Amino acid sequence: MNTPYQIIVGLEVHVQLMTKTKLFCSCKTVFGAPPNSQVCPICLGMPGVLPVMNEQAFQLGLRAALALNCQIANFTKWDRKNYYYPDLPKNYQISQYDLPFSYEGYLDIDTSSGSRRIGIIRAHLEEDAGKSMHDESGRGGDSKVDLNRTGTPLLEIVSKPDIRSAEDAETYLRELRLLLREIGVSDCEMQEGSLRCDANVNIHILYSSDNGEEIAATPLVEIKNLNSIGSVGRAIQYEAERQYEAFQKDPKNYRFGKLLKTTAGWNEARGMTQVQRHKEEAADYRYFPDPDLVPVVVTAEQIEEVKRSLGELPSQQRTRLQAAPFSLSAYDAQVLTGQGRKMVAYFEEVAKISDPKSACNWLTNEVFASLKERSEEIDQFPIRAPQLGELINEMKQLGIKREKARDVYQKMLAENVDAKTAIDQLGYKPFDDNLLLDLIRKAIEGNRKAVLDYKKGNEKALDRVFGTVMRETKGMGRPDRIKQLLLEEVAKIEA
């Protein structure tokens, strides 16, 4: 993009872990349950109760951290972050402060300008707060608090400010979402709040003044209330332009270091960011180690075990699909991997039976659309990989054209029959060379004049003969073969 500035973005992502129960008690974590129905004395923070760490949550955290290439601390602890808010019943959040369980990782993303490595500063575990619902009519009605979410395990993943465009921010989030879904850590549904993202944005401007040229940095703005991956991109783009304008108005003072970090909310309806508060007013969280919990020690064996169980990660998959024997384009590899591991496995099976390029085309052109239409996952899809492979092979052998092949595919899908049966039932007879030659000779007989015209040099004249043969095959003949045989036959005729 040709802008007079460079966008600098770091993302703070919170994902809810797919545990059956909460981080420190045995309450369920199902989304959408009636308000305050998934609570107990522990997550309500009642007097005298104590938290006990959910081992599964820690395991999922480890999976995510290792998939993000993070270092794992062999000793980690829980800290209390103290602040008052009605949806936080204890008035402190159990989080990790100075010794997060993982740090210094990275995530590789494929951007329009090639692969980019986005650094991960840290990933730590913490408990979620509840939800406050305020009366937004302005009439001062009661606020309501739903504590179902209180205590749900969250993984906070903090990226380095390595993201350089709104587009890359979206790519990073899609890649992160794909990765965490693939390894079973989180379902990452932004609509349901199981993936939340705050963006720290500023810009670097090449600025010329009387003092010469310099790179000027604008103050940091943290954007909250981002409800979709698209809105993250839109908010970053808007905010960058807003900062550029602000800088133009006051190049001396609108500078990083001169103004403190501010927090802004993204207003999707109005398409703009709105300043919420200045960070200097932010609370002193008085972090200290939670005396109710014991430190967690992670062994090298545990780390190895989790690593082994991760399986192939999306980035590894993409690389593999671009290499032999698949040799897919970067784009195709990206599209397939983006559909998840099951789709890739399906593809590989089809490709082995037929060929990778056809397999990929069939998936992206037909199967994806069918799945969407039928609201199915690939493992529920009635045409299994061997059948699709067979269809591709039959199509090639019999010279069945694309549109006819699509009819065969639709019949297989609708009636749950295999490729050969569908072809048979549709009456698509294969035409071998003998059959074709019969048809060609008959067509030559019926079009003597056209053949003679061709022989005299009117190349177009043969099209008529060719068309007659094609009609006779009802579109099932392979045009290239027909053309070849026709030319051979015509050559035998004396002018």
Cβ closest to other proteins, residue 49 vs residue 121: 49
Single residue of 10, 61, 89, 340 touching other proteins by CB under 8 A: 89
Closest CB to other proteins among 280 and 480?
A: 280
Judged by CB under 8 A, the residue of 53, 259, 437, 490 near other proteins is 53
Among 49, 303, 330, 353, the residue binding other proteins under the rule CB under 8 A is 49
Instruction: Enumerate the β-bridge partners of residue 9.
Output: 163, 201
Give 218's contacts (C-beta < 8 A, 6+ positions apart): 202, 203, 205, 243, 244, 246, 247, 254, 255, 256
Which of 34, 47, 138, 212 contacts other proteins by CB under 8 A? 47
**229 DSSP β-pair partners:** none
Q: Does 50 bind other proteins (CB under 8 A)?
A: yes
CB-count exposure of residue 482 (10 Å: 0-12, 13-18, 19+) = buried
Cα 347-351-355 angle, rounded to 5 deg: 145
**Looking at the chain, how many residues does it have?**
495
Sole window of 82-90, 269-277, 312-320, 402-410 interacting with other proteins (rule: CB under 8 A) = 82-90
CB-CB contact of 185 with 22 (8 Å): no
Site string for other proteins, 289-308 (x = CB under 8 A): --xxxx--------------
Cβ-based nearer residue to other proteins, 44 or 99 = 44
Phi, psi (deg, nearest 5) at residue 470? -55, -45
Cα(128)–Cα(342) distance, integer angstroms? 31
- Is residue 32 a contact residue for other proteins (CB under 8 A)? no
Among 21, 36, 45, 406, binds other proteins (CB under 8 A): 45
Q: Select 61 or 130, whichever has its Cβ closest to other proteins.
A: 130
Interacting residues with other proteins between 256 and 285 (CB under 8 A): 284
Least distance (Å) between residue 231 CB and other proteins: 29
Identified binder of other proteins from the candidate list 5, 11, 19, 92, rule CB under 8 A: 92
The secondary structure of 410-476, three-state, reads: HHHHHHCCCHHHHHHHCCCCCCCHHHHHHHHHHHHHHCHHHHHHHHCCCCCHHHHHHHHHHHHCCCC
Q: What is the dihedral of CA 99, 100, 102, 107, to 10 degrees?
A: -130
Q: How far is the CB of 53 from other proteins (least distance, A)?
A: 7
Cα–Cα dist 313/303, whole Å: 16
Candidates 50, 22, 52; CA nearest to 296 is: 52
**Is residue 22 near other proteins by the rule CB under 8 A?**
no
* Residue 464 CB contacts under 8 Å (≥ 6 apart), including other chains: 447, 450
List beta partners, residue 226. Answer: 197
Q: Is residue 82 part of the contact set for other proteins (CB under 8 A)?
A: yes
Residue 406: what are its φ and ψ, rounded to 5°? -65, -40
- C-alpha 242/C-alpha 235 separation (Å) is 10
Task: For 264, list phi and psi in degrees, rounded to 5.
Answer: -130, 150
Minimum distance of other proteins from residue 86's CB (angstroms): 5
Please state whether the peptide bond connecting residue 314 to the residue before it is cis, i.e. omega within 30 degrees of 0.
Answer: no
Q: Determine if 52 is a binding residue for other proteins (CB under 8 A).
A: yes
- Contact stretch for other proteins (CB under 8 A) within 64-72, 80-88, 193-201, 411-419: 80-88
Q: Which range binds other proteins by CB under 8 A, 90-98, 174-182, 431-439, 456-464?
A: 90-98
Tokens of 425: 């039932």
Which lies closer to other proteins via its Cβ, residue 139 or residue 249?
139
Total residues at interface with other proteins (CB under 8 A):
27
Q: How far is the CB of 288 from other proteins (least distance, A)?
A: 6
Region near other proteins per CB under 8 A, out of 40-48, 330-338, 373-381, 398-406: 40-48
How many CB atoms are located within 10 Å of the residue 447 CB? 19
Nearer to other proteins, 84 or 210 (CB): 84
Pick 42 or 344: Cβ nearer other proteins: 42
Q: Which is nearer to other proteins, 26 or 299 (CB)?
A: 26
Task: Tell me whether residue 56 or residue 82 sits nearer to other proteins (CB atom).
Answer: 82
CB 285, min distance to other proteins, A:
8
Residues 99-118 that bind other proteins (CB under 8 A): none
**Using CB under 8 A as the criterion, what x/- string covers residues 425-454 for binding other proteins?**
------------------------------
Residues that bind other proteins (CB under 8 A): 41, 44-53, 80, 82, 84, 86, 89-92, 284, 286-288, 291-294
